[in-house]
């Protein structure tokens, strides 16, 4: 099966140029044999269901290639220094045939990650976070690609669903993600766009909870102390934070609607339960896609099946296709966040949408 997938991937990408070379001394870049490759996926931690979905996708790719014993998940636990140290150690051990799919904890560490990867001649795909103005296109061929999801429509549509549930008027509180993370910025931008369309809605609090459920619950409890049932709704940039906020509301006996982003199974289940659950909307999970195809793209570069320097811009820095938000009207038609049965690896860009331009 692995040989068949590798052959079909090579055929699908046969229009690409020859394997790249690197300045790293003694490294045969882009010519790694499958048995020499070590696959790595890294994100904040598997206590968050989104990352469980990411790993499910990554493992699906590794299993398809017959490489499960050459795969490792690494949790940064929200610690950027720890994540960078982990990647350095793995590169030192596995060298230029290391294939990495990394959700950097903060955008600010991406240049250091790229530097380390390039110094070993290894192969990197990043997810979600990178500094404004940085790009695989203007950096190193060893930073093969950057993949994300456009947060603006997500923030906009979930905010509109919340405001409609509130009857178009009332006070809303906002939980943001890590503020230097592009998805946090984009989702809040979408929220602000929707807010302009609803003059009866007032934002009375706005704070980052760092994508963390417990922190979001604590912040919401503080807001409840200050505002009580004046809180008419909670917009959150992520489901994990929204679930923490919901718990605080339930404990206080406040029936205010909540929305999130990320498509966690618990969030989708609550949406399906209806208004009594307080959960109005979320988005569809992209974790499986990011885990599977992030590794697949970096793998294709490591084996020489693609030359990153010859790829078109829309294959090196791109959003995944936009998906409809999850509401009570469509929740029963949405694929489960952990489902990997639909994955096919002949074309790792099959779910790519618009190019990222910043």
Does 261 lie in the same domain as 177? yes
**Structural domain contains residue 219:** yes
Say if residue 304's pLDDT is above 60. yes
Query: Scanning the structure block, which residue is given the tokens 């498509």?
Result: 263
Does 128 lie in the same domain as 55? yes
Which residues make Cβ contacts (< 8 Å) with residue 209, sequence separation at least 6? 175, 176, 177, 215, 216, 219, 236, 241, 244
Does 187 lie in the same domain as 121? no
Does 170 lie in the same domain as 267? yes
Instruction: Please give the pLDDT value at position 282.
Output: 98
Say if residue 99's pLDDT is above 60. yes
Does 155 lie in the same domain as 76? no
- Tens digits of residue pLDDT in 339-358: 999 999 999 999 999 999 87
- Tens digits of residue pLDDT in 157-199: 999 999 999 999 999 999 999 999 999 999 999 999 999 999 9
**Structural domain contains residue 329:** no
Does 131 lie in the same domain as 58? yes
Report angle CA 188, 189, 195 to the nearest 5 degrees.
85
Average pLDDT over residues 139-148: 96
The domain in which residue 221 lies consists of: 151-281
Average pLDDT over residues 227-237: 98
Output the six-digit token pair for 54: 């990411």
pTM, 2 dp = 0.87
Where among 266, 281, 296 does a domain terminate? 281
**Structural domain contains residue 328:** no
Alpha carbon distance 8, 228 (integer Å): 59
Integer CA distances (angstroms), 206 to 20, 178, 209, 248, in order = 47, 13, 10, 16
Report the sign of the C-alpha dihedral through residues 72, 334, 318, 150, in that order.
negative
Say if residue 10's pLDDT is above 90. no
Residue 275: pLDDT band (50, 70, 90) is confident
Does 232 lie in the same domain as 136? no
Q: State the chain's maximal CA–CA distance in angstroms.
A: 66
Does 186 lie in the same domain as 111? no
CATH number at residue 118: 3.40.50.2300
Alpha carbon distance 356, 341 (integer Å): 28
Helix (H) or strand (E) holding 101: strand 98-102
Does 145 lie in the same domain as 10? yes
Does 139 lie in the same domain as 12? yes
| Mean pLDDT taken over the chain | 92
Instruction: Please give the pLDDT value at position 2.
Output: 52
Number of compact structural domains in the chain: 2
Does 60 lie in the same domain as 41? yes
Pair 226, 201: CB distance under 8 Å: no
Residue 25: pLDDT band (50, 70, 90) is very low
Say if residue 19's pLDDT is above 50. no
**Structural domain contains residue 330:** no
Instruction: Please give the pLDDT value at position 29.
Output: 54
């Amino acid at each position: 099966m692995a040989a068949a997938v590798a052959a079909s991937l090579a055929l699908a990408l046969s229009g690409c140029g020859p394997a790249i070379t690197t300045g790293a001394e003694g490294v045969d870049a882009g010519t790694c044999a499958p048995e020499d490759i070590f696959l790595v996926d890294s994100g904040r931690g598997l206590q968050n269901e989104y990352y469980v979905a990411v790993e499910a996708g990554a493992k699906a790719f590794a299993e398809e290639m017959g490489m499960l014993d050459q795969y490792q998940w690494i949790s940064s636990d929200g610690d950027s220094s720890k994540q960078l140290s982990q990647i350095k150690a793995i590169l030192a051990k596995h060298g230029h045939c290391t294939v990495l799919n990394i959700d950097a904890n903060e955008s600010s560490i991406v240049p250091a990650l790229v530097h380390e990867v390039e110094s070993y001649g290894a192969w990197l795909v990043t997810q979600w976070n990178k500094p404004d103005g940085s790009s695989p296109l203007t950096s190193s061929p060893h930073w093969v690609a950057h993949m994300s999801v456009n947060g603006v429509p997500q923030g906009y549509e979930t905010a509109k669903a919340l405001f409609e549930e509130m009857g178009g008027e009332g006070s809303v509180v906002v939980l943001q993600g890590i503020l230097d993370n592009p998805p946090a910025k984009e989702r809040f931008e979408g929220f602000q766009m929707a807010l302009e369309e609803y003059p009866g809605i007032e934002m009375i609090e706005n704070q980052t909870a760092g994508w963390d459920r417990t922190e979001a619950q604590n912040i919401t409890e503080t807001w409840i102390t200050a505002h009580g049932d004046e809180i008419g709704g909670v917009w959150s940039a992520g489901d994990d934070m929204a679930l923490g906020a919901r718990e605080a509301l339930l404990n206080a006996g406040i029936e205010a609607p909540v929305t999130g982003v990320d498509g966690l199974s618990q969030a989708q289940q609550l949406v399906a339960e209806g208004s009594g659950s307080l959960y109005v909307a979320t988005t569809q999970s992209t974790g499986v896609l990011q885990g599977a195809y992030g590794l697949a793209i970096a793998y294709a570069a490591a084996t020489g099946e693609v030359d990153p320097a010859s790829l078109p811009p829309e294959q090196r820095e791109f959003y995944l296709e936009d998906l409809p938000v999850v509401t009570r009207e469509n929740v029963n038609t949405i694929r489960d966040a952990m489902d990997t049965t639909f994955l096919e690896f002949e074309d790792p860009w099959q779910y790519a949408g618009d190019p990222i331009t910043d």
